[in-house]
Amino acid sequence: MRILVTGANRGVGLALACQMALRGDHVIATTRGAKPLDDLRWEQADMADPASITGLAGRVGGALDLLVCNAGVLLDRGEDLDTGYASEIWAETLAVNVTGVFLTIQTFLPHLRRAEAGRVAIISSQMGSSTRNTGGTYAYRASKAAALNIGRNLAHDLAPEGIAVGIYHPGWVQTDMGGTGADITPEDAARGLIARFDALGPDSTGVFETWDGRAHPF
């Protein structure tokens, strides 16, 4: 398969790219900065910059079997409700986690349409579910809820073309975002997510699932 993984310079994205490359997939991985290793095809791209996304699509070219929208930021951990959540936090969070996700999918639709059965995987979070109302991190929660909503509606619109869309909670992962006390490693999360991607198809399009295959309430 030919696969594009955004935000693959570390954490779950890097683990996904490495594991899929090791099994023989042709993986294209994006990073905003330095590439962390030399064994993958790296492309510089900023998911908050529409022109960067357009440029990436031009360099990638050809058919794309799977688009993994993994790039994301969490900027509002520990913000105070009365004085925190500056407008800059909201702007960058939404630019990457929402607008960037939609524009990436929109821009790569021609690539997905060239594939026999294109698929899109959006890495959201259980924090985007309306059932996960434990407070705080409002910008991140709102962005992941929006990504979930985008994925569900894209699944509806792209179903007639045979392009399946899945939305996934990667688990509480031991990354810079999740912290060292999280439940699972990036490698564990990647193995579970790859199994979900492989199972995604017309009959399951629109799913919101956890990394280990459990259906998550919206």
Catalytic residue flag (residue 140): yes
Q: Which of 85, 138, 140, 168 is catalytic?
A: 140
Is the CB of residue 30 less than 8 Å from the CB of residue 5?
yes
Is the CB of residue 67 less than 8 Å from the CB of residue 121?
yes
DSSP 72: -
Is the CB of residue 196 less than 8 Å from the CB of residue 211?
yes
Measured CA to CA, the distance from residue 90 to residue 92 in angstroms comes to 6
Is the CB of residue 76 less than 8 Å from the CB of residue 142?
no
Helix (H, G, I), strand (E, B) or coil at 55: helix
Is the CB of residue 210 less than 8 Å from the CB of residue 196?
no
Would you call 110 exposed, middle or buried from its count of C-beta atoms within 10 A (0-12, 13-18, 19+)? middle
Instruction: Give how far the C-alpha of residue 199 lies from the chain's centroid of Cα atoms, to the nearest Å.
Output: 17
> Where in the sequence numbering do the catalytic residues fall?
140
